[in-house]
């Protein structure tokens, strides 16, 4: 491939002691080492991206850095027998956009072992409608299935208006569970109902202080919030229920007692998607391709050009983003 070919990317760098995010022209030869060069079609915006682009979190390990923890595109060239030019692929996690150059770029180079083939029934844009958020949501559902819970009871999803929460609501509803969405935004009620939520509760209901054990309500939970919300979920989880915890929007610390664990046998399962094994990723993406139709994904997605990433990063940190933001890196 022509090493002198130009492409555009959003680059983070420190200039005079301040973080600067600007779109620059780079050459293919500037890309870091890797087995596969990908012509990127889409990326997405996640909370972690917002922290990286604004510099408000210790996300980026070194500069200059191309942020973006997700990307979907087509293989341009490959030194690996696993992929051939023309293969559509997905890349999420593996510390891209943090330690390695990421998805806010028209081209990327990556290790073949990080890539997942795009499911045949899925479009590249819809792969980024799902992205890290949707993969995490699917892994949470798989964790609930693996560890078990009383399926006749309600399943609650916290932070339901966000990317992980929205997709978790849609998946759980599609699987036939009675889903309760927790959110603090009244303007999202009809949106969440449209995704399949049976009921909606205010997020304050779950974060209030309470007794070591409350009335059993939830059979299971997908928690993107942490903090007091996670403690509240555990207190009101039913006998042998399970919480899949994957986020900390409400704080990284929480205080609880051992009572839910030793008196009700509840389970708290941590879920991560950054270094999740490829075999598990392929299984999750296959299930996502069958559970989430293009129509559902279009309903939860907005598409924006690369130039909008800095502004949207501020919005996602303020909790003003609904569902998923897909970034068209060629727009």
pLDDT at 251: 85
How many C-beta atoms surround the C-beta of residue 270 within 10 A? 9
Q: Residue 168's pLDDT band (boundaries 50, 70, 90)?
A: very high
Which residue ranges form the domains of the chain, and what is each CATH number? 6-118+296-328 (3.90.180.10), 132-270 (3.40.50.720)
Q: Are 161 and 191 in contact (CB under 8 A)?
A: yes
Average pLDDT over residues 109-115: 97
Tell me what pLDDT residue 193 has.
97
pLDDT in tens, 212-247: 999 999 999 999 999 999 999 999 999 999 999 999
Distance from C-alpha of 108 to C-alpha of 106, rounded to nearest angstrom: 7
pLDDT digits (tens, 9 = 90+) for 50-92: 999 999 988 999 999 999 999 999 999 999 999 999 999 999 9
Check whether 17 has a pLDDT greater than 90. no
Angle between helices 47-54 and 309-317 in degrees, nearest 10: 110
Peptide bond into 155 cis (omega under 30): no
* Structure-token pair, residue 73: 């595109």
Selection from 268, 238, 264 nearest residue 152 by Cα: 238
Counted residue by residue, the chain has a size of: 331
Q: What is the pTM of this model?
A: 0.95
Nearest 5°: CA angle at 46, between 41 and 51? 120
| Of residues 23, 126, 31, 8, the one with CA closest to residue 77 | 31
pLDDT of residue 131: 98
Q: What is the pLDDT of residues 264-316, one digit of tens each?
A: 999 999 999 999 999 999 999 999 999 999 999 999 999 999 999 999 999 99
Confidence of residue 209 (pLDDT cuts 50, 70, 90): confident
- The predicted structure's pLDDT at residue 210: 87
Measured between alpha carbons, how far is 232 from 250 in angstroms, rounded to an integer?
Answer: 12
Question: What integer pLDDT is reported at residue 3 of this predicted model?
Answer: 87
| Gyration radius (Cα) of the chain, Å | 20
d(CA 171, CA 166) in angstroms, rounded, equals: 9
Question: What whole-number distance in Å separates Cα of residue 217 and Cα of residue 281?
Answer: 31
Query: Can you give the pLDDT at residue 86?
Result: 98
């Amino acid at each position: 491939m022509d090493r002198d070919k130009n492409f555009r990317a959003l680059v983070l760098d420190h200039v005079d002691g301040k973080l600067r995010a600007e779109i620059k022209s780079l050459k293919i030869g500037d890309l870091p080492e890797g087995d596969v060069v990908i012509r990127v079609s889409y990326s997405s915006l996640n909370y972690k991206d917002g922290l990286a682009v604004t510099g408000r979190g210790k996300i980026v390990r070194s500069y200059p850095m191309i942020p973006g923890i997700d990307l979907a595109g087509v293989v341009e060239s490959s030194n690996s027998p696993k992929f051939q030019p023309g293969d559509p692929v997905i890349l999420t996690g593996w510390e891209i956009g943090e330690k390695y150059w990421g998805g806010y770029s028209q081209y990327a180079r990556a290790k073949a072992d990080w890539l997942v083939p795009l499911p045949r029934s899925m479009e590249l844009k819809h792969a980024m409608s799902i992205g890290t958020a949707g993969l995490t949501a699917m892994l949470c559902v798989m964790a609930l299935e693996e560890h078990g819970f009383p399926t006749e009871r309600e399943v609650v999803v916290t932070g339901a208006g966000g990317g992980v929460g929205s997709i978790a609501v849609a998946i759980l509803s599609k699987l036939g569970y009675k889903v309760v969405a927790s959110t603090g935004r009244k303007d999202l009620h009809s949106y969440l109902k449209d995704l399949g939520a049976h009921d909606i509760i205010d997020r304050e209901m779950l974060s209030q202080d309470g007794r070591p054990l409350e009335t059993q309500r939830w059979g299971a939970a997908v928690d993107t919030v942490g903090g007091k919300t996670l403690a509240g979920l555990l207190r009101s989880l039913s006998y042998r229920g399970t919480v899949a915890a994957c986020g900390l929007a409400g704080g990284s610390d929480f205080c609880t007692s051992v009572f839910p664990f030793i008196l009700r046998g509840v389970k708290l399962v941590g879920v991560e998607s950054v270094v999740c094994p490829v075999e598990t990723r392929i299984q999750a993406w296959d299930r996502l391709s069958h559970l989430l139709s293009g129509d559902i994904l279009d309903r939860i997605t907005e598409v924006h050009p690369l130039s909008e990433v800095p502004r949207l990063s501020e919005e996602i940190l303020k909790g003003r983003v609904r569902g998923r933001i897909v970034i068209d890196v060629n727009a």
